[in-house]
Structure 1
């Protein structure tokens, strides 16, 4: 239960939210730095590709000795978040492309996302605790 795919996805998503927080904070800190190019973190698109099987990784199906056994697939490795340059942002007069309003909006969205992930993770462990304690006596 501790090595479930759901927990792995939650863990990687939390790591991504922290990386995104640092990346956005770096963009905001460099809002007035000449020639600075803003960055963004890409993960959700990569995860969707992996879950849909379009990432080029072949899924392995578990061996079943009886057709009544529950089929399941082993998920390939989870993608790592990537930091990419923002393409197509408008340049300021000093060559900087940071849009402060956009970055603050992304910061707020990421905080909400992170809070939701922590609640999901806490709920996962609460269910596990309930099972270990005998189903909530």
Structure 2
């Protein structure tokens, strides 16, 4: 039995997603002047569809419940191969990348704050509520 009912592991997966997205954005910004470089992205929709294809373990009280057996896969990076913003074939839009970077940073900070809150709750319980 998990102390937080899987909350920490869900937050961990969210942090993994955010970290992977951060890497993709950083690669895009670093390659803004690279000829024929195509923008890489990590989409939550792709992550969610991967999660729908796989299953998670759960307690079933009746056979009519959906069976959950496998573990959720990790996040993948995709790229836009036919997108080009410049004459040299580069597909990076710096304004879009900076906006994505800011949004991802806010998301990451919110997840870290939730993990910190859960761990502080656990620390309070261990200390006996004081």
2:35 aligns with 34
1:14 aligns with 15
Give the secondary structure class of the aligned counterpart of 2:117. helix
Q: Which has the higher strand share?
A: 1
Structure-2 change in CA distance of 1:75 and 1:102 (3 Å): farther
Q: Does 1:62 align with 2:59?
A: yes
Q: Does 1:133 align with 2:130?
A: no
- Post-superposition shift, 1:4? 4.0
2:94 aligns with 100
Conserved? CA contact 1:24–1:40, under 8 Å: yes
The runs of 5 or more residues in structure 2 that have no matched partner are none
Q: TM-score, normalised by structure 1?
A: 0.75
1:23 aligns with 24
Give the secondary structure class of the aligned counterpart of 1:82. coil
Q: TM-score, normalised by structure 2?
A: 0.78
The runs of 5 or more residues in structure 1 that have no matched partner are 68-72
Could you say what the CA RMSD is over the residues aligned between the two structures, in angstroms? Answer: 2.9
The size of the alignment, in residue pairs, is: 126
Conserved? CA contact 2:58–2:69, under 8 Å: no
1:70 aligns with none
Q: Which structure 1 residue ranges, 4+ long, deviate > 4 Å from structure 2?
A: 58-61, 73-76
Structure-2 change in CA distance of 1:82 and 1:13 (3 Å): same
